[in-house]
Amino acid sequence: MYTGFVLCSNSGSGGGGSGGGSNNTGCVAQYSFDSTLTGMGQIVLYNTSYVDSTMQNASISYMWDFGDGTSAFGAYPSHVYTAAGNYAVCLTLNAVDSTAFGTMSCTSTYCDTISIDSSGNVSYKNLNVTLNVYDPSQMSLEEKTTTPIKLYPNPSSGIAWVELPQASDIQLFSMTGRCVFNGFDLEGTVQLPFLNAGSYLLEIVNDEGKTYQLLLVL
């Protein structure tokens, strides 16, 4: 059972990239840690990397080293840790842009350390600890006092329900922005469709405003 984590910043490992080509262009690999959304069996990171504005049409690739001997490509991957320990999570960004003046490229790497132990509060019902990386623009949550909306079980094995205390319009999005379910003027207990493993964002709109909830499917 892995029930805790600590994120330790490594200030010397991140920062600028190395320029190449006809211009000294650069890129910065970086991610940030969300202590509010972390929990219920997952660790939430935001990929906040960026490329110099001179490389407007760059081809960008991301490689993640999760510190346990595994890696993944892509901007927003997921990974499951199956043992307690200290993990140096490294993100490497590579960008290449072909222009009339030649080919420009840059590479940048950023690392932080995550520690998972047996005395914290991350794991949920003895499940493994899952790391998810999100686009921060998708997580602009409106801070309002609203009637609580229950989304359960979360994490889910594929089936989940949402309890709506008042008539609401709901939409469920994958982390790529694709709408996988929508319903209008719903109230009471609503069963969501069977979902494949991954992370989803539930949008609820009613008279109190708009709220969001994360749903993790294992």
Helix (H, G, I), strand (E, B) or coil at 136: helix
What pLDDT, on a 0 to 100 scale, did the predictor assign at position 38?
A: 65
Report the C-alpha gap between 14 and 49 in whole angstroms.
11
Structure tokens at 61: 């690739």
Q: Are residues 146 and 180 in the same domain?
A: yes
| Chosen domain end from 138, 159, 183 | 138
Q: How far is CA 115 from the centre of its chain?
A: 18
| Chosen domain end from 119, 138, 157 | 138
Q: Are residues 35 and 58 in the same domain?
A: yes
pLDDT per residue as tens digits for the range 136-167: 666 555 544 566 788 888 888 889 999 998 89
Structure tokens at 122: 């991350």
Please give the C-alpha separations between residue 107 and each of 17, 51, 151, 218, in angstroms, as whole numbers.
Answer: 5, 10, 41, 33
Specify whether the CB–CB gap between 206 and 168 falls below 8 A.
Answer: yes
CA nearest neighbour of 33 among 164, 137, 132: 132
Q: Are residues 157 and 88 in the same domain?
A: no
Q: Are residues 134 and 145 in the same domain?
A: no
Which CATH number covers residue 110?
Answer: 2.60.40.10
**What does the chain come to in residues?**
218
Count: domains in the chain: 2
Note down the domain range covering 155: 141-217
| Chosen domain end from 116, 138, 160 | 138
Q: Are residues 121 and 172 in the same domain?
A: no
Q: Are residues 33 and 75 in the same domain?
A: yes
| Average pLDDT across the chain, whole number | 75
Report the C-alpha gap between 30 and 134 in whole angstroms.
13
CA nearest neighbour of 151 among 132, 134, 133, 172: 172
What pLDDT, on a 0 to 100 scale, did the predictor assign at position 41?
A: 60
Q: Are residues 130 and 145 in the same domain?
A: no
Looking at residue 36, its amino acid is: T
Specify whether the CB–CB gap between 133 and 17 falls below 8 A.
Answer: no
pLDDT in tens, the chain (218 residues): 443 333 323 333 333 333 333 233 578 899 887 766 666 567 788 888 888 877 778 889 999 999 989 999 999 888 887 777 788 889 999 988 887 777 888 899 999 877 776 654 443 334 445 667 777 666 555 544 566 788 888 888 889 999 998 899 999 888 777 888 988 888 899 999 999 888 888 889 888 888 888 888 88
Q: Are residues 83 and 163 in the same domain?
A: no
Helix (H, G, I), strand (E, B) or coil at 77: coil
Structure tokens at 211: 């709220």
Q: Are residues 181 and 106 in the same domain?
A: no
What pLDDT, on a 0 to 100 scale, did the predictor assign at position 129?
A: 55
What pLDDT, on a 0 to 100 scale, did the predictor assign at position 1?
A: 40
Q: Are residues 179 and 94 in the same domain?
A: no
Specify whether the CB–CB gap between 180 and 173 falls below 8 A.
Answer: yes
For the four alpha carbons of 180, 161, 3 and 119, in that order, the dihedral sign comes to: positive
What pLDDT, on a 0 to 100 scale, did the predictor assign at position 6?
A: 32
Q: Are residues 103 and 38 in the same domain?
A: yes
pLDDT per residue as tens digits for the range 103-140: 888 899 999 877 776 654 443 334 445 667 777 666 55
Which CATH number covers residue 202?
Answer: 2.60.40.3080
Helix and strand counts by DSSP (H, E) for the chain: 0, 17
What pLDDT, on a 0 to 100 scale, did the predictor assign at position 124?
A: 30
